[in-house]
Structure 1
């Protein structure tokens, strides 16, 4: 895959090392890939919100969740808001490779039926 790359990083609360959320972004073929690692909760929600906020970037975003160990309702609400914003801008949000615990959370609240959720990053990028 030919890639034009832009890299950006966001980290929640620098003093919260063990459960901190990190977000690294790249752009490949007009799709912004946000790779998340750590826990998504009310302490790290602002970092997730900033990572998914792409006012000057492409309105097509894949959130790679393969390194997210926990997500609560704060994360669900942020994902729904990002999905709505990106859809209104003519784009989309896809979730890729959620860990089993995160996938279970997504399924319990039904987010996987609202936001396109794929097993792998490759599947999410291919559409």
Structure 2
């Protein structure tokens, strides 16, 4: 993006089997690219569990330690609801409302 941020797009299901990889990839993007903001686009994520939420929070903390602000850029309605239930939506800078252009199938 032109504002010095980097966008990482994630799609599909994120669960205990893929959460560690997500965290590692996000931390790698933060530490290797060193953007001012790392925007995590979750608009195409169809499922995430508590391990995935933990991975996002962990990546956010690790990125923050490197001076990179990690925020949720877009979130499907399901993902946004899961982040709210876990109480981390504001911590992760998730939008208050789902993206109005997001089409859920």
User: In the alignment, is the contact (CA less than 8 A) between 2:24 and 2:59 conserved in 1?
Assistant: no
* Aligned match of 2:87: 110
Higher relative contact order at CA 8 Å, sep ≥6: structure 1 or structure 2? 2
**Coordinate RMSD, CA, aligned:** 1.7
Structure 2 SS opposite 1:116: coil
Alignment partner for residue 49 of structure 2, among 52, 57, 72?
Answer: 72
Aligned length: 94
C-alpha separation between the residues in 1 aligned to 2:17 and 2:42?
Answer: 18
C-alpha separation between the residues in 2 aligned to 1:58 and 1:29?
Answer: 13
* Aligned pairs for 1:76-91 within 5 A: 76-91=53-68
* Aligned match of 1:57: 33
Runs ≥4 residues deviating over 4 A: none
1:44 and 2:18 are equivalent in the alignment: yes
Superposition TM-score, scaled by structure 1 size: 0.66
Structure 1 SS opposite 2:89: helix
* Aligned match of 1:92: 69
Give the structure with higher Rg (CA): 1
- Structure 2, gaps ≥5 residues long: 100-105
- Structure 1, gaps ≥5 residues long: 4-27, 121-127
Structure with more of its chain in helix, by fraction: 2
* Aligned pairs for 1:25-40 within 5 A: 29-40=3-14
